[in-house]
Amino acid sequence: MELNTKLVRENIRIAFTSIKSHLLRTILTILIIAFGIMALVGILTAIDAVESSLNENFAMMGSNTFNIQNRGLRVHIGGKQTNPVNYREISFSEAMEFKEQFDFPAKVSVFTYGTGTATIKYGSEKTNPNISVMGTDENYVFTSGQEIAKGRTFTPNELHFGNHVVIIGNDIVKALFKKNEEPLGKIISVGAGKYRVIGVLKERGSSIGFSGDRSCLVPIANVRQYFSSPNMNYQISVMVPDPSKMQAAIGEATGLFRKIRKDRLGNDDSFAILKSDNIANMLIGLTSKLQIGATIIGLITLLGAAIGLMNIMLVSVTDRTREIGIRKAVGAKSHTIRNQFLAEAIVIAQAGGLLGIFAGVLIGNVVSYFTESPFIVPWLWVVLGVLLCFVVALLSGIIPATKAARLDPIESLRYE
Protein backbone atom coordinates (compact mmCIF):
# COMPACT_ATOMS: atom_id res chain seq x y z
CA MET A 1 0.00 0.00 0.00
CA GLU A 2 2.80 2.38 0.93
CA LEU A 3 4.68 1.48 -2.27
CA ASN A 4 1.60 2.26 -4.40
CA THR A 5 1.19 5.63 -2.67
CA LYS A 6 4.85 6.48 -3.41
CA LEU A 7 4.37 5.51 -7.08
CA VAL A 8 1.29 7.76 -7.37
CA ARG A 9 3.18 10.69 -5.82
CA GLU A 10 6.15 10.07 -8.10
CA ASN A 11 3.92 9.94 -11.19
CA ILE A 12 2.23 13.23 -10.22
CA ARG A 13 5.64 14.85 -9.58
CA ILE A 14 6.91 13.71 -12.98
CA ALA A 15 3.67 14.97 -14.58
CA PHE A 16 4.20 18.48 -13.18
CA THR A 17 7.84 18.42 -14.32
CA SER A 18 6.76 17.47 -17.87
CA ILE A 19 4.07 20.18 -17.85
CA LYS A 20 6.64 22.83 -16.95
CA SER A 21 8.93 21.72 -19.78
CA HIS A 22 6.11 22.11 -22.35
CA LEU A 23 4.34 25.04 -20.72
CA LEU A 24 2.88 26.82 -23.78
CA ARG A 25 1.13 23.87 -25.37
CA THR A 26 -0.02 22.68 -21.94
CA ILE A 27 -1.60 26.09 -21.22
CA LEU A 28 -3.37 26.05 -24.60
CA THR A 29 -4.77 22.58 -23.90
CA ILE A 30 -5.89 23.64 -20.40
CA LEU A 31 -7.65 26.69 -21.88
CA ILE A 32 -9.51 24.56 -24.46
CA ILE A 33 -10.72 22.22 -21.72
CA ALA A 34 -11.59 25.18 -19.49
CA PHE A 35 -13.66 26.78 -22.28
CA GLY A 36 -15.71 23.62 -22.74
CA ILE A 37 -16.41 23.25 -19.03
CA MET A 38 -17.09 27.00 -18.72
CA ALA A 39 -19.69 26.84 -21.50
CA LEU A 40 -21.37 23.84 -19.89
CA VAL A 41 -21.32 25.03 -16.26
CA GLY A 42 -21.91 28.70 -17.12
CA ILE A 43 -25.03 28.21 -19.23
CA LEU A 44 -26.50 25.64 -16.85
CA THR A 45 -25.81 27.94 -13.85
CA ALA A 46 -27.55 30.78 -15.70
CA ILE A 47 -30.54 28.50 -16.38
CA ASP A 48 -30.68 27.58 -12.67
CA ALA A 49 -30.67 31.31 -11.86
CA VAL A 50 -33.55 31.96 -14.27
CA GLU A 51 -35.54 29.05 -12.82
CA SER A 52 -34.94 30.35 -9.29
CA SER A 53 -36.11 33.81 -10.35
CA LEU A 54 -39.25 32.39 -12.01
CA ASN A 55 -40.14 30.36 -8.94
CA GLU A 56 -39.57 33.34 -6.66
CA ASN A 57 -41.61 35.72 -8.78
CA PHE A 58 -44.57 33.43 -9.38
CA ALA A 59 -44.50 32.46 -5.71
CA MET A 60 -45.43 36.09 -5.02
CA MET A 61 -48.98 35.28 -6.10
CA GLY A 62 -48.79 32.04 -4.16
CA SER A 63 -49.14 28.41 -5.14
CA ASN A 64 -52.59 28.40 -3.47
CA THR A 65 -53.96 31.27 -5.58
CA PHE A 66 -55.69 31.36 -8.97
CA ASN A 67 -56.97 34.20 -11.13
CA ILE A 68 -60.12 34.45 -13.24
CA GLN A 69 -59.65 36.74 -16.24
CA ASN A 70 -60.87 37.32 -19.76
CA ARG A 71 -57.77 36.11 -21.61
CA GLY A 72 -55.32 33.22 -21.51
CA LEU A 73 -51.55 33.33 -21.34
CA ARG A 74 -49.38 34.54 -24.23
CA VAL A 75 -46.17 32.52 -24.69
CA HIS A 76 -43.58 33.76 -27.19
CA ILE A 77 -40.39 31.68 -27.39
CA GLY A 78 -38.06 32.15 -30.35
CA GLY A 79 -40.08 32.08 -33.54
CA LYS A 80 -42.99 30.22 -31.98
CA GLN A 81 -45.85 32.09 -30.37
CA THR A 82 -48.94 30.87 -28.56
CA ASN A 83 -51.66 33.47 -28.90
CA PRO A 84 -54.10 33.67 -25.99
CA VAL A 85 -57.84 33.32 -26.48
CA ASN A 86 -59.54 36.63 -25.78
CA TYR A 87 -63.06 36.64 -24.33
CA ARG A 88 -65.39 39.53 -23.68
CA GLU A 89 -64.53 41.74 -20.74
CA ILE A 90 -65.46 40.75 -17.21
CA SER A 91 -67.77 43.47 -15.95
CA PHE A 92 -67.79 44.95 -12.47
CA SER A 93 -71.22 43.51 -11.74
CA GLU A 94 -70.11 40.00 -12.81
CA ALA A 95 -66.97 40.17 -10.65
CA MET A 96 -68.86 41.44 -7.60
CA GLU A 97 -71.63 38.87 -8.07
CA PHE A 98 -68.98 36.13 -8.04
CA LYS A 99 -67.41 37.55 -4.88
CA GLU A 100 -70.77 37.63 -3.11
CA GLN A 101 -71.91 34.14 -4.18
CA PHE A 102 -68.65 32.16 -3.94
CA ASP A 103 -69.17 30.38 -0.62
CA PHE A 104 -66.04 28.20 -0.73
CA PRO A 105 -63.71 28.82 2.30
CA ALA A 106 -61.32 31.20 0.50
CA LYS A 107 -60.41 34.87 0.19
CA VAL A 108 -61.74 36.55 -2.97
CA SER A 109 -60.56 39.87 -4.33
CA VAL A 110 -61.69 41.94 -7.31
CA PHE A 111 -59.28 44.34 -8.97
CA THR A 112 -58.71 46.30 -12.16
CA TYR A 113 -55.93 48.30 -13.79
CA GLY A 114 -56.46 52.04 -13.98
CA THR A 115 -53.26 52.97 -15.81
CA GLY A 116 -49.64 51.89 -16.07
CA THR A 117 -48.18 55.30 -16.94
CA ALA A 118 -49.09 57.48 -13.97
CA THR A 119 -46.75 60.10 -12.48
CA ILE A 120 -46.85 60.47 -8.69
CA LYS A 121 -45.90 63.83 -7.13
CA TYR A 122 -45.19 65.11 -3.63
CA GLY A 123 -43.99 68.67 -3.22
CA SER A 124 -41.17 69.22 -5.72
CA GLU A 125 -40.49 65.51 -6.12
CA LYS A 126 -42.07 63.25 -8.71
CA THR A 127 -41.67 59.76 -10.11
CA ASN A 128 -41.13 58.61 -13.68
CA PRO A 129 -44.36 58.10 -15.66
CA ASN A 130 -44.25 54.32 -15.15
CA ILE A 131 -46.38 53.85 -12.04
CA SER A 132 -49.28 51.40 -12.12
CA VAL A 133 -52.54 52.53 -10.55
CA MET A 134 -54.77 49.64 -9.52
CA GLY A 135 -58.27 49.64 -8.16
CA THR A 136 -58.53 46.97 -5.48
CA ASP A 137 -60.66 45.79 -2.60
CA GLU A 138 -59.80 44.87 1.00
CA ASN A 139 -58.47 41.39 0.09
CA TYR A 140 -56.16 42.20 -2.82
CA VAL A 141 -53.05 42.70 -0.69
CA PHE A 142 -53.39 39.17 0.67
CA THR A 143 -54.36 37.34 -2.53
CA SER A 144 -51.51 38.99 -4.48
CA GLY A 145 -48.95 37.79 -1.94
CA GLN A 146 -48.03 41.30 -0.81
CA GLU A 147 -47.71 42.68 2.71
CA ILE A 148 -48.33 46.03 4.34
CA ALA A 149 -45.04 47.28 5.79
CA LYS A 150 -46.57 50.42 7.31
CA GLY A 151 -50.10 51.63 7.83
CA ARG A 152 -53.24 49.69 6.93
CA THR A 153 -55.47 48.50 4.12
CA PHE A 154 -58.80 50.04 3.06
CA THR A 155 -61.80 50.26 5.36
CA PRO A 156 -65.31 49.26 4.17
CA ASN A 157 -66.39 52.92 4.06
CA GLU A 158 -63.36 53.93 1.95
CA LEU A 159 -64.14 51.14 -0.50
CA HIS A 160 -67.85 51.96 -0.64
CA PHE A 161 -67.44 55.70 -1.23
CA GLY A 162 -64.25 55.47 -3.32
CA ASN A 163 -62.29 57.79 -1.05
CA HIS A 164 -59.05 59.43 -2.19
CA VAL A 165 -56.75 57.18 -0.16
CA VAL A 166 -53.78 55.22 -1.51
CA ILE A 167 -51.36 52.44 -0.59
CA ILE A 168 -47.99 52.97 -2.30
CA GLY A 169 -45.06 50.72 -3.23
CA ASN A 170 -41.55 51.03 -1.84
CA ASP A 171 -40.05 52.55 -5.02
CA ILE A 172 -42.56 55.40 -4.82
CA VAL A 173 -41.56 56.07 -1.20
CA LYS A 174 -37.87 56.24 -2.21
CA ALA A 175 -38.63 58.62 -5.09
CA LEU A 176 -40.88 61.05 -3.18
CA PHE A 177 -39.67 60.97 0.42
CA LYS A 178 -35.90 61.26 0.05
CA LYS A 179 -35.30 62.88 3.45
CA ASN A 180 -36.64 59.89 5.38
CA GLU A 181 -40.00 61.60 5.88
CA GLU A 182 -42.87 59.54 7.20
CA PRO A 183 -45.13 58.90 4.17
CA LEU A 184 -48.22 57.94 6.17
CA GLY A 185 -50.77 60.75 6.22
CA LYS A 186 -49.09 62.75 3.46
CA ILE A 187 -51.10 64.06 0.51
CA ILE A 188 -49.66 63.06 -2.87
CA SER A 189 -50.80 63.60 -6.45
CA VAL A 190 -51.74 60.51 -8.41
CA GLY A 191 -52.36 61.70 -11.94
CA ALA A 192 -54.71 64.68 -11.60
CA GLY A 193 -56.09 63.73 -8.17
CA LYS A 194 -54.91 64.23 -4.58
CA TYR A 195 -54.69 61.17 -2.35
CA ARG A 196 -53.81 60.57 1.30
CA VAL A 197 -51.25 57.82 1.93
CA ILE A 198 -52.64 55.22 4.35
CA GLY A 199 -50.19 52.37 3.76
CA VAL A 200 -46.83 51.32 2.31
CA LEU A 201 -46.29 47.92 0.69
CA LYS A 202 -43.38 45.77 1.80
CA GLU A 203 -40.48 45.78 -0.68
CA ARG A 204 -40.39 42.71 -2.91
CA GLY A 205 -37.87 43.52 -5.66
CA SER A 206 -38.60 43.83 -9.34
CA SER A 207 -36.94 40.85 -11.07
CA ILE A 208 -38.29 40.11 -14.58
CA GLY A 209 -40.93 42.79 -14.12
CA PHE A 210 -43.21 41.19 -11.51
CA SER A 211 -43.29 43.76 -8.72
CA GLY A 212 -45.58 45.83 -6.55
CA ASP A 213 -42.84 48.33 -5.72
CA ARG A 214 -43.91 50.69 -8.53
CA SER A 215 -47.64 50.29 -7.89
CA CYS A 216 -50.16 52.30 -5.96
CA LEU A 217 -53.46 50.81 -4.83
CA VAL A 218 -56.63 52.85 -4.53
CA PRO A 219 -60.23 51.77 -3.81
CA ILE A 220 -61.79 50.08 -6.82
CA ALA A 221 -64.72 52.52 -6.82
CA ASN A 222 -62.23 55.40 -7.09
CA VAL A 223 -60.58 53.90 -10.18
CA ARG A 224 -63.99 53.34 -11.75
CA GLN A 225 -64.73 57.04 -11.33
CA TYR A 226 -61.38 58.74 -12.04
CA PHE A 227 -59.52 56.25 -14.28
CA SER A 228 -62.49 54.84 -16.17
CA SER A 229 -62.26 53.66 -19.76
CA PRO A 230 -64.73 52.11 -22.21
CA ASN A 231 -65.39 48.40 -21.64
CA MET A 232 -63.38 48.37 -18.42
CA ASN A 233 -62.19 44.88 -17.56
CA TYR A 234 -61.94 43.34 -14.08
CA GLN A 235 -60.07 40.34 -12.69
CA ILE A 236 -60.84 38.04 -9.78
CA SER A 237 -58.21 36.49 -7.53
CA VAL A 238 -59.00 33.59 -5.19
CA MET A 239 -56.68 32.40 -2.41
CA VAL A 240 -57.43 29.00 -0.87
CA PRO A 241 -56.03 28.52 2.67
CA ASP A 242 -55.45 24.79 2.11
CA PRO A 243 -53.50 24.05 -1.14
CA SER A 244 -54.90 20.49 -1.18
CA LYS A 245 -58.37 21.97 -1.84
CA MET A 246 -57.18 24.02 -4.83
CA GLN A 247 -58.77 21.81 -7.51
CA ALA A 248 -62.06 21.69 -5.64
CA ALA A 249 -62.04 25.50 -5.40
CA ILE A 250 -61.26 25.87 -9.11
CA GLY A 251 -64.07 23.46 -9.98
CA GLU A 252 -66.61 25.34 -7.89
CA ALA A 253 -65.40 28.71 -9.16
CA THR A 254 -65.68 27.53 -12.78
CA GLY A 255 -69.24 26.32 -12.28
CA LEU A 256 -70.34 29.52 -10.53
CA PHE A 257 -68.75 31.87 -13.04
CA ARG A 258 -70.15 29.94 -16.01
CA LYS A 259 -73.57 30.51 -14.46
CA ILE A 260 -72.86 34.23 -13.94
CA ARG A 261 -71.51 34.62 -17.51
CA LYS A 262 -74.48 32.60 -18.86
CA ASP A 263 -72.26 30.08 -20.67
CA ARG A 264 -74.47 27.50 -22.32
CA LEU A 265 -74.14 23.81 -21.53
CA GLY A 266 -71.65 22.19 -23.94
CA ASN A 267 -69.96 25.48 -24.83
CA ASP A 268 -66.43 26.31 -23.72
CA ASP A 269 -65.79 28.65 -20.78
CA SER A 270 -65.93 32.34 -21.69
CA PHE A 271 -63.07 33.11 -19.31
CA ALA A 272 -59.61 31.78 -18.37
CA ILE A 273 -58.38 30.48 -15.02
CA LEU A 274 -54.63 30.80 -14.42
CA LYS A 275 -52.59 29.29 -11.61
CA SER A 276 -49.21 30.85 -10.81
CA ASP A 277 -47.38 27.55 -10.32
CA ASN A 278 -48.67 26.20 -13.65
CA ILE A 279 -47.30 29.24 -15.46
CA ALA A 280 -43.94 28.91 -13.71
CA ASN A 281 -43.71 25.18 -14.46
CA MET A 282 -44.52 25.79 -18.13
CA LEU A 283 -41.81 28.43 -18.48
CA ILE A 284 -39.29 26.34 -16.56
CA GLY A 285 -40.08 23.40 -18.84
CA LEU A 286 -38.98 25.52 -21.81
CA THR A 287 -35.49 25.85 -20.29
CA SER A 288 -34.89 22.13 -20.92
CA LYS A 289 -34.16 23.00 -24.56
CA LEU A 290 -31.50 25.45 -23.38
CA GLN A 291 -30.01 22.75 -21.17
CA ILE A 292 -29.77 20.39 -24.14
CA GLY A 293 -28.12 23.13 -26.22
CA ALA A 294 -25.65 23.92 -23.45
CA THR A 295 -24.76 20.26 -23.05
CA ILE A 296 -24.16 19.86 -26.81
CA ILE A 297 -21.95 22.97 -26.90
CA GLY A 298 -19.96 21.80 -23.89
CA LEU A 299 -19.53 18.25 -25.22
CA ILE A 300 -18.41 19.45 -28.68
CA THR A 301 -15.82 21.74 -27.08
CA LEU A 302 -14.69 18.96 -24.77
CA LEU A 303 -14.30 16.68 -27.81
CA GLY A 304 -11.95 19.25 -29.31
CA ALA A 305 -10.15 19.47 -25.99
CA ALA A 306 -9.80 15.68 -25.87
CA ILE A 307 -8.21 15.67 -29.33
CA GLY A 308 -5.85 18.46 -28.28
CA LEU A 309 -4.92 16.65 -25.10
CA MET A 310 -4.28 13.40 -27.00
CA ASN A 311 -2.08 15.30 -29.42
CA ILE A 312 0.03 16.88 -26.69
CA MET A 313 0.44 13.50 -24.99
CA LEU A 314 1.53 11.82 -28.24
CA VAL A 315 4.07 14.59 -28.81
CA SER A 316 5.21 14.15 -25.21
CA VAL A 317 5.76 10.41 -25.80
CA THR A 318 7.84 11.16 -28.89
CA ASP A 319 9.90 13.84 -27.11
CA ARG A 320 10.60 11.59 -24.13
CA THR A 321 11.36 8.36 -25.97
CA ARG A 322 14.95 8.23 -24.66
CA GLU A 323 13.71 9.01 -21.12
CA ILE A 324 11.26 6.09 -21.37
CA GLY A 325 14.08 3.82 -22.59
CA ILE A 326 16.27 4.79 -19.64
CA ARG A 327 13.43 4.17 -17.16
CA LYS A 328 12.75 0.74 -18.64
CA ALA A 329 16.48 -0.06 -18.66
CA VAL A 330 16.72 0.57 -14.90
CA GLY A 331 13.70 -1.64 -14.17
CA ALA A 332 10.54 0.40 -14.70
CA LYS A 333 7.63 -1.79 -15.71
CA SER A 334 5.27 -1.09 -18.59
CA HIS A 335 2.28 -0.36 -16.33
CA THR A 336 4.40 2.15 -14.38
CA ILE A 337 5.21 4.04 -17.59
CA ARG A 338 1.54 3.87 -18.64
CA ASN A 339 0.32 5.21 -15.29
CA GLN A 340 2.87 8.02 -15.45
CA PHE A 341 1.45 9.34 -18.75
CA LEU A 342 -2.14 8.83 -17.59
CA ALA A 343 -1.35 10.86 -14.46
CA GLU A 344 -0.01 13.66 -16.65
CA ALA A 345 -3.19 13.67 -18.77
CA ILE A 346 -5.39 13.71 -15.65
CA VAL A 347 -3.44 16.61 -14.11
CA ILE A 348 -3.83 18.70 -17.30
CA ALA A 349 -7.54 17.85 -17.67
CA GLN A 350 -8.38 18.59 -14.03
CA ALA A 351 -6.48 21.89 -14.14
CA GLY A 352 -8.58 22.91 -17.15
CA GLY A 353 -11.73 21.60 -15.47
CA LEU A 354 -11.22 23.55 -12.25
CA LEU A 355 -10.49 26.74 -14.21
CA GLY A 356 -13.60 26.19 -16.36
CA ILE A 357 -15.84 25.47 -13.36
CA PHE A 358 -14.68 28.64 -11.59
CA ALA A 359 -15.24 30.78 -14.71
CA GLY A 360 -18.57 29.08 -15.46
CA VAL A 361 -19.98 29.69 -11.98
CA LEU A 362 -18.95 33.37 -12.16
CA ILE A 363 -20.45 33.88 -15.63
CA GLY A 364 -23.65 32.04 -14.69
CA ASN A 365 -24.09 34.20 -11.62
CA VAL A 366 -23.90 37.35 -13.73
CA VAL A 367 -27.39 36.33 -14.88
CA SER A 368 -28.26 35.63 -11.23
CA TYR A 369 -27.21 39.19 -10.36
CA PHE A 370 -29.41 40.77 -13.05
CA THR A 371 -32.43 38.64 -12.09
CA GLU A 372 -31.80 39.43 -8.40
CA SER A 373 -31.54 35.75 -7.52
CA PRO A 374 -29.21 34.49 -4.76
CA PHE A 375 -25.65 33.43 -5.64
CA ILE A 376 -25.84 29.90 -7.04
CA VAL A 377 -23.21 27.16 -6.85
CA PRO A 378 -24.54 24.30 -9.03
CA TRP A 379 -22.89 21.44 -7.17
CA LEU A 380 -24.40 18.85 -9.51
CA TRP A 381 -22.80 20.51 -12.55
CA VAL A 382 -19.53 21.05 -10.65
CA VAL A 383 -19.30 17.33 -9.89
CA LEU A 384 -20.33 16.53 -13.48
CA GLY A 385 -17.57 18.83 -14.77
CA VAL A 386 -14.92 17.11 -12.67
CA LEU A 387 -16.10 13.67 -13.84
CA LEU A 388 -16.16 14.78 -17.48
CA CYS A 389 -12.59 16.05 -17.21
CA PHE A 390 -11.53 12.74 -15.70
CA VAL A 391 -13.21 10.83 -18.55
CA VAL A 392 -11.60 13.16 -21.13
CA ALA A 393 -8.20 12.53 -19.51
CA LEU A 394 -8.63 8.76 -19.61
CA LEU A 395 -9.88 8.70 -23.21
CA SER A 396 -7.17 11.10 -24.40
CA GLY A 397 -4.36 9.63 -22.38
CA ILE A 398 -4.91 5.91 -22.82
CA ILE A 399 -3.56 5.72 -26.41
CA PRO A 400 -0.37 7.78 -25.75
CA ALA A 401 0.16 6.00 -22.41
CA THR A 402 -0.20 2.57 -24.03
CA LYS A 403 2.16 3.62 -26.83
CA ALA A 404 4.74 4.72 -24.25
CA ALA A 405 4.34 1.52 -22.25
CA ARG A 406 4.95 -0.64 -25.35
CA LEU A 407 8.15 1.08 -26.46
CA ASP A 408 11.13 -1.25 -26.77
CA PRO A 409 13.84 -0.09 -24.31
CA ILE A 410 16.73 -0.82 -26.73
CA GLU A 411 15.08 1.07 -29.60
CA SER A 412 14.16 3.89 -27.23
CA LEU A 413 17.77 4.32 -26.07
CA ARG A 414 18.91 4.54 -29.71
CA TYR A 415 16.22 7.14 -30.54
CA GLU A 416 17.51 10.57 -31.56
CA distance 213 to 106: 26
Residue whose C-alpha is closest to residue 143's, from 175, 120, 111: 111
Q: Please answer whether residues 164 and 193 qualify as being in contact, where contact means their C-beta atoms are separated by less than 8 angstroms.
A: yes
Contact 365, 42 (CB under 8 A): no
Cα atoms in the Cβ-side hemisphere of radius 13 Å centred on 318: 6
Residue 112, C-beta contacts closer than 8 angstroms, at least 6 positions apart: 92, 134, 135, 220, 223, 224, 232, 233, 234, 235
Digit-by-digit pLDDT tens for the chain (416 residues) are 444 666 667 667 766 776 676 777 778 778 878 887 887 788 777 777 776 666 665 555 556 788 899 876 554 444 444 555 678 899 999 999 999 999 998 999 999 999 888 999 998 888 988 899 999 999 998 888 788 989 999 999 999 999 999 999 988 999 898 888 899 999 999 988 899 999 999 887 544 444 567 889 999 999 999 888 888 899 999 988 887 788 899 999 999 999 999 988 888 888 988 876 655 565 556 566 767 776 777 777 777 777 777 777 777 777 666 766 777 676 667 777 777 777 778 888 888 888 888 888 888 787 777 766 677 777 877 787 788 778 877 777 777 777 777 766 666 555 55
Backbone angles phi, psi at 230, to 5 degrees: -60, 145
Annotate the chain with three-state secondary structure. Answer: CHHHHHHHHHHHHHHHHHHHHCHHHHHHHHHHHHHHHHHHHHHHHHHHHHHHHHHHHHCCCCCCEEEEECECCCEEECCEEECCCECCCCCHHHHHHHHHHCCCCCEEEEEEEEEEEECEEECCEECCCCEEEEEECCCHHHHCCCCEEEECCCCHHHHHHCCCEEEECHHHHHHHCCCCCCCCCCEEEECCEEEEEEEEECCCCCHHHCCCCCEEEEEHHHHHHHCCCCCCCCEEEEECCCHHHHHHHHHHHHHHHHHHHCCCCCCCCCCEEEEHHHHHHHHHHHHHHHHHHHHHHHHHHHHHHHHHHHHHHHHHHHHCHHHHHHHHHCCCCHHHHHHHHHHHHHHHHHHHHHHHHHHHHHHHHHHHHHCCCCCCCCHHHHHHHHHHHHHHHHHHHHHHHHHHHCCCHHHHHCCC
